[in-house]
Amino acid sequence: MKKIALFVLGLLAILYFRQKIAAGATESAKGELELAEVGYFKEQGAMGSERRVYSIAVEGFVDNEAVWNEIDEYGRKKLWSQGSYTAVFFFDGRSNTPDVTDSGENFPNAYREYCVAAFWRYTKWNVYLDKYPFRDGSPAL
């Protein structure tokens, strides 16, 4: 009986510490991530719709689920209104991030290799997060 109790206690301890370690790794990955808006473009459409484009520098980017969740959450918080279109492009590092204030999503091709994510919110509430949108060399737009 004593052996079973020790076994169960040991198993619970292992599960507890395993959960703590996993939670700590997620928190540290999110804690090191910094997102900074570099450029913002807005264009008014003929029928009152708006097109918004943001370029975001990502410092401390690592390819893991916690980081992707934070990028998705950040994209969802960007300004959007029904009937409008919003695109948020995330780039690895400030020096690799174009200022889209004048160009919108027509930023120079040289920046595409540094684009780690693109978040789109379309006119009918459709939301889409694309990881590495330009990886295969084709335009994601």
- More confidently predicted of 9 and 73: 73
Question: Cα separation of 59 and 24, whole Å?
Answer: 20
Q: Cβ distance 123 to 49 under 8 Å?
A: yes
At residue 21 the predicted structure's pLDDT band, cuts being 50, 70 and 90, is: very low
Domain identity same for 19 and 38:
no
Domain identity same for 26 and 40:
no
Task: Please give the residue range of the domain that contains residue 1.
Answer: 1-31
Contacts of 136 (CB under 8 A, 6+ apart): none
**Token output for 137:** 């060399």
Domain identity same for 1 and 66:
no
pLDDT at position 13: 52
Q: Is the pTM of this model over 0.75?
A: no
**Domain tally for the chain?**
2
Q: Does residue 5 belong to any structural domain of this protein?
A: yes
